[in-house]
Amino acid sequence: MNPSTHLTSFSAADIESFLPAMKIGLLATVSPNGEPHISLISSLMASSPTQLAFGQFTEGFSKDYIRQNPKVGFLMMSLEKNLWIGKASFTHTSTSGKEYDFYNNIPMFRYNAYFGIHTVFYLDLLSQSGKKALPMSAIIGSAILSSVARTLGKKNHGKTVLNPWTQGFMNKLDNLKFLSYIDHDGYPVIIPAIQAQTLGSDRILFSTSVYTEALNAIPKGTRLAIFGMALTMEDVLMRGTYQGTQRVAGITVGVTDLDWVYNAMPPVPGQIYPPLPIHPVTDFQ
C-alpha cells in the first residue's frame, strides 16, 4: 500500500463505506506551535465526492487547531480493515443542514440525553489514497521484529515519560498505532504504525519492514505525533523527535525520543507529561 497515491475525489462506494458509526476516523491537525496532533473523530465521513464532514459534540484541541490552521490529514479504517488516507482543507462550519440532521438522527446522538452534535465541520478534499487493504501478514511480521528489538535493545532510563500503563498499552500487539508529521506542503501525513512499541519509558520504535516507503520518507529530526488506541476506545497521544532509522538488536527500526504525552480519554482529558503544576482553586463562583 502507498498512502501517497493521489486521487482527488471519493467514489460512491467510498462514501458508503464511511457512513457506519463503527469505524475508525482519525484527523491530524497542526498545533499553534507547528506540531502534529491526532484526534479520534468517529463521525468523520465524506459528505460529497470532494468534501468531508465531521460532527462536534465535545470540545478538544483539534477543533481549535483546525480553525487556526485549515490544513489537515485524515485516515479512515473500516471494520473490514480497509484504509483511506489523505489530506484536506477546512472551509467552514454549520449548525444546521443535511449533515447536521444526519448526525443527530444517528442512534448514538438521537437517544443520548447528555449531548448531541452541535456543530458540523466541512473540509475540501485535496487528495486521498483510494481504498487499500491493511496488510495484516506484513504487519504481524513487522510487529514481531519490533518486539524483538524492544526486548533486546538498550533501554534509556534517563527520564520516565511513559508510565507503566502506557508502556503496556503501546506494547499490546492487537492495539492500533498511527504516526503523523507535517509534510513539506504544511499538511499533516498519517501513517499506520501498528507495529510500534516502546523502548524503555522514553522512546518508541517501529520496524520499517511494512509501509517502508512512507516511513523512510520521514526526515530525521521531524516532530512526530504517535497515537495509540484500542477498540475499547482507550487511547493515548504522544509526541517526540524522530531520530531516523537505527539498527537495534540487528533490526532496522525507526526511533522517536518522546517528550510529551496526552490523555485524550474522558472523563478528564489532559496533559500527562511533562506534568502540569497544580494550582489551588481560589474562585468558587
Cell 492487537, located at residue: 174
Assigned C-alpha cell, 251: 533490526
pLDDT of the residue at 53: 95
Q: Is residue 64 helix, strand or coil?
A: helix
Cα gap 58→28, rounded to integer Å: 17
Cα gap 177→180, rounded to integer Å: 10
Query: Is 135-271 the same fold as 12-132?
Result: yes
pLDDT of the residue at 157: 65
Per-residue 3-state assignment (H helix, E strand, C coil) for 162-188: CCHHHHHHHHCCCCEEEEEEECCCCCE
Assigned C-alpha cell, 213: 516507503
Q: Is residue 201 helix, strand or coil?
A: coil
pLDDT of the residue at 169: 96
pLDDT of the residue at 2: 46
* E-assigned strand segments in the chain: 24-30, 36-40, 45-48, 51-56, 71-77, 82-94, 119-128, 132-133, 176-182, 188-192, 197-198, 203-207, 223-229, 235-248, 251-263, 270-273
Please report, for the chain, the start and end positions of each structural domain, with discontinuous segments joined by +: 12-132, 135-271
Ordered mean pLDDT values, 10 residues apiece, the chain (285 residues): 71 92 92 96 94 84 94 96 97 91 73 67 97 96 96 82 95 96 97 97 96 96 97 92 95 97 80 81 64
58's CB contacts (< 8 A; 6+ apart) are 115, 266
If one looks up domain 135-271 in CATH, what number appears?
2.30.110.10
Predicted structure pTM score: 0.91
Give the CATH fold of the 12-132 domain: Pnp Oxidase; Chain A (2.30.110)
